[in-house]
Structure 1
Amino acid sequence: MRLAEWIHSAAEELAEAGVDSPRLDAQILAAHALGRDRSWVLSHPEESVADSGLSSLLRRRLNREPLAYITGKREFYGREFFVDPDVLVPRQETEFVVERAKLWMHGGGDWTVLDVGTGSGCIGITLALECPGCRVTLLDKSMNALRVASKNADALEARIDQFVHSDLFHKLPKRRYQLVVSNPPYVAHADDLPPEVRDFEPHDALFADANGLAMYRRLAAETYLATGCEALIVEIGMGQQPAVEAVFAEYGWQLVDAMCDLGRIVRTLTFIPADVVGRLS
């Protein structure tokens, strides 16, 4: 079978299964199975292909397994990150956390940064690479997630100060972090999620009680943060700004920035703690 024929057939099956980008996914699956990149696949439509694992990869995608878990990689902020089912698939909207943090740090300098719930490490590792001089700690309650983050740090040659296995700050060494960043779990219900997310990604990293606000409340109530950091930047879900802002306000945090994506959807909120508010007033 010619490569173009396989891609056409696979794309039709993927479309019938409800996959959003069937042709693109078919091309990426073919590239992965053949050990090539997508540009090679596009430029060799007449190439004769044996199965080479193509059918097994296609079955996995037809079952709605995320493409990133099948290929073991996902691009984030222009870099390739290793991913597996122990971590969330990095998303484009999370890049706005990086953008806001870079602006806060003016692109670099001697900053201490804590990435809470680091998962694959995509936020903290990217900041370590993009902001020379900053010292980054990656924290997660999942040891398996920390292994993924460590693998990515090694592959991307990022200098990470510490990898900390802890549920929030219980086992975190006592030190001052000037900037805290987090993409916490904030999904309230699974009903509207696509099967790729609902059935495959780690639920501990997706779902939160209290209508999706539980982790925000834990962060806001944490005195370790409120007396040490200069700013906290969090990702939020669509339409969550009023509720998240209210939670942080209960504990004296002040919202200083809300960053939107290109669709004018608020993706990140930046808060400063009560002691910083007092110094500025």
Structure 2
Amino acid sequence: MTVAQALRDATARLAATSDTARLDAEVLMAHALGCTRSDLLLRHMTGEVPPGFAALVERRLGHEPVAYITGSQEFYGLDLTVSPAVLIPRGDSETLIDAAREAFADATPQRVLDLGTGSGALLLAAATLWPQAEAIGIERSPDALAVATANGRRHAPHAQFIAGDWTLPNWSAALGRFDLVLANPPYVEDAADLAPSVRAHEPAQALFAGPDGLDDYRALIPQIPGLLSVCGIAMIEIGWTQTEAVIALAQAAGLTAKLHHDLGGRPRAIEMADPRNKALGKADLRD
């Protein structure tokens, strides 16, 4: 059997469990061959099927995410290592970086903080945009912290990843204030109907936040004013039904709020700032 034939067969089998069956098959084949997907399509279609490919397909048939099978996921142009210890970075989360980039179009954040950094995706994207900024990622899971640290060594060696948990007293006492605070906290309702690839494989502590998905926002947002510099902003990811609730929490904490949509037009991030920062959405920092 050639690679092309194996891809057709795998696509037919995966169609029962994946909406991206052909793409999944190609990514898994490229991984088994140790080449890029482009090289696969251009140079390997008539070659022999590598012996490990069948086992990879079986794992995907069991709803294991492709990113966990291959151990990598792209985010904002960065090839990140991922494992079941961390949430798989989604393209929709790039909205936070795009919105921050717009906010700091005429300035440079000097200090950046990522709360619950997971794989390090948000912090490392920011650190590559603003390499001169001090970049700190906080993570409570030791296994996730190890993944983020490894990604940091590859993409932004100056970034710091440290243990921290915003639900504990005095967790931020020694951190100081930041021009940009990023966070993609857990925001899924405990009883949400999730795909098996998500509920059965991705870390629950990075997904679920109580019956209404707001528990972590309630704990985190009141602490944001104490983390922001005078002209700082926070960019917080939300679920698409949570706009009003999260904006209300921001306003209760004395913060102004601005909504950003993802490329699909869904509510995706809330930008927060001290009301004294008159240029919400257009940060005014001194380099």
TM-score by length of 1: 0.91
Aligned to 1:171: 171
Alpha-carbon distance in structure 1 between the residues aligned to 2:236 and 2:194: 21
Aligned to 2:7: 7
Alpha-carbon distance in structure 1 between the residues aligned to 2:150 and 2:191: 30
The equivalences for 1:92-131 within 5 A come to: 92-106=91-105, 109-131=108-130
Tell me how far 1:176 sits from its aligned partner.
Answer: 1.6
Quick check: 1:79 aligned with 2:78?
Answer: yes
Tell me how far 1:180 sits from its aligned partner.
Answer: 0.9
Give the counterpart letter for 1:220 in structure 2: I
1:135/1:108 CA distance change after superposition, 3 Å: farther
Alpha-carbon distance in structure 1 between the residues aligned to 2:220 and 2:49: 52
The answer to whether the Cα contact below 8 Å between 1:102 and 1:131 also exists between their aligned partners in 2 is: no
Alpha-carbon distance in structure 2 between the residues aligned to 1:191 and 1:219: 22
Alpha-carbon distance in structure 2 between the residues aligned to 1:226 and 1:157: 27
Aligned to 2:61: 62
Quick check: 1:253 aligned with 2:255?
Answer: yes
The unaligned stretches of length 5 or more in structure 1 are none
Q: Which structure is higher in RCO with an 8 Å CA cutoff and minimum separation 6?
A: 2
Give the counterpart letter for 2:249 in structure 1: V
Alpha-carbon distance in structure 2 between the residues aligned to 1:235 and 1:78: 19
Q: Number of matched residues? A: 271
The answer to whether the Cα contact below 8 Å between 1:108 and 1:130 also exists between their aligned partners in 2 is: no
Give the counterpart letter for 1:27 in structure 2: E
The answer to whether the Cα contact below 8 Å between 2:113 and 2:182 also exists between their aligned partners in 1 is: yes
Query: Percent identity over the alignment?
Result: 37
Alpha-carbon distance in structure 1 between the residues aligned to 2:80 and 2:227: 31
2:236 to 225, 234, 237: 234
Give the counterpart letter for 1:201 in structure 2: E
The equivalences for 1:134-153 within 5 A come to: 134-153=133-152
1:269/1:191 CA distance change after superposition, 3 Å: closer
Aligned to 2:201: 200
Tell me how far 1:129 sits from its aligned partner.
Answer: 0.6
Alpha-carbon distance in structure 2 between the residues aligned to 1:108 and 1:68: 35
1:13/1:204 CA distance change after superposition, 3 Å: same
The unaligned stretches of length 5 or more in structure 2 are 279-287
1:228/1:84 CA distance change after superposition, 3 Å: closer
Aligned to 2:264: 263
Tell me how far 1:105 sits from its aligned partner.
Answer: 2.5
The equivalences for 1:43-62 within 5 A come to: 43=42, 44-50=44-50, 52-62=51-61
Q: Deviations over 1:32-79 (max 9, x none)?
A: 1111111122123211225x2111111110000000000000011111
Alpha-carbon distance in structure 2 between the residues aligned to 1:190 and 1:71: 29
Q: Deviations over 1:118-174 (max 9, x none)?
A: 0000000110111132111000111111111111111124421x3220111743424
Aligned to 1:216: 217
The answer to whether the Cα contact below 8 Å between 2:124 and 2:156 also exists between their aligned partners in 1 is: no
1:212/1:4 CA distance change after superposition, 3 Å: same
Alpha-carbon distance in structure 2 between the residues aligned to 1:166 and 1:8: 47
Match of 1:211, SS? coil
The answer to whether the Cα contact below 8 Å between 1:112 and 1:134 also exists between their aligned partners in 2 is: yes
Aligned to 2:182: 181
Question: What is the alpha-carbon root mean square deviation over aligned residues?
Answer: 1.8
Q: Higher mean Cα deviation, 39-48 or 100-109? A: 100-109
TM-score by length of 2: 0.89
Tell me how far 1:186 sits from its aligned partner.
Answer: 0.4
